[in-house]
Amino acid sequence: VAFRRDGWLWAASCAAHADASRSARSALERHGIKPFEEFSQEEIRDRWGIDGLITGVLDRSCGSVDPAELAFSLRRTALSLGVKIFEQTPMLSFSRQGKPRVTTPEGQVSAEHMVLAINAWIGRLPEFRSSILIAASELAVTDPVPDVIDRMGWRDGPYVNDSRLMVGALRALPDGRIIYGKGGGHFGFAGLVDARFDGPAPRLDVMTEEFHRYSSHVRGLRPRHSWAG
């Protein structure tokens, strides 16, 4: 499923964010957990060719996975075990007391347990509406640029994100492309996921400019595709 355990670099793109990880690190260390290694600006530049960040911490235990490959692999495995999968069946309602029961246009399904794996759409449920903020994410991917990635030394490098409130992120993909993105372009009022959350990234120029600031090696690279979600 295209799983890569190359770590996660939580970095700062300006001096104001240099200590962004401090509270999380302190809380973990109180419980004897020390997953982070500190890296200076020079170490980040020399190790991965990312010279637009001023400091960061690396968690080597983290990895990344292709979400589509993961979903398809889970589907294949479930089918091989005899699980029946019913796709394109809308849930009209579900029971909130007693044995879980889901109502569909064609009838009802009962089970011992129910998992609400509905991502942002869980914000439509009154139990969650007041505690979940639905924020858009926008992503773009370049054409394959393996020469750039090799020059940076980023072939097996970590997933990277900054410490902004609306996080920017990037990583090198196994096929030589670079994916980058940013969160928080717009928000879903009252848990509504509408048409603004689909289609090309509306802030593509802004996030590409931010992408170019991460490293001098990627300046001039343009996106091949973009999307929002």
Rounded CA gap, 91 and 33, in Å? 41
Label residue 171 by pLDDT band (50, 70, 90).
very high
- What's the mean pLDDT when you consider all of the chain? 93
Q: What is the pTM of this model?
A: 0.86
Question: Hey, what long-range contacts does 89-92 have (CB within 8 A, 24 or more apart)?
Answer: none
191 in helix, strand or coil? helix
Q: Region of 143 please: left (phi>0), alpha (psi -120 to 50) or beta.
A: beta
Instruction: Please say if the pLDDT value at position 194 is more than 60.
Output: yes
What's the confidence (pLDDT) of residue 86?
Answer: 85
Q: What is the pLDDT of residues 18-46, one digit of tens each?
A: 999 999 999 999 999 999 999 999 999 99
Q: What is the pLDDT of residues 70-117, one digit of tens each?
A: 999 999 999 999 999 988 999 999 999 999 999 999 999 999 999 998
CA dihedral sign, ordered 52, 168, 6, 62: positive
What's the confidence (pLDDT) of residue 1?
Answer: 55
Which one-letter amino acid corresponds to residue 221? L
- Cβ count within 10 A of residue 65: 13
Size of the chain in residues: 229
What's the confidence (pLDDT) of residue 216?
Answer: 96
What's the confidence (pLDDT) of residue 54?
Answer: 95
- Contact (CB, 8 A) for 133 and 190: no
Please choose, from the candidates 177, 181, 155, the residue with its C-alpha nearest in 3D space to the C-alpha of residue 166: 181
- Contact (CB, 8 A) for 215 and 50: yes
- Cβ count within 10 A of residue 109: 15
Task: Give the CA distances from residue 127 to residues 6, 96, 115, 122, 131, in Å, rounded to whole numbers and listed in that order.
Answer: 37, 11, 15, 9, 8
State the distance between the two ends of the chain, measured CA to CA, in whole angstroms: 21
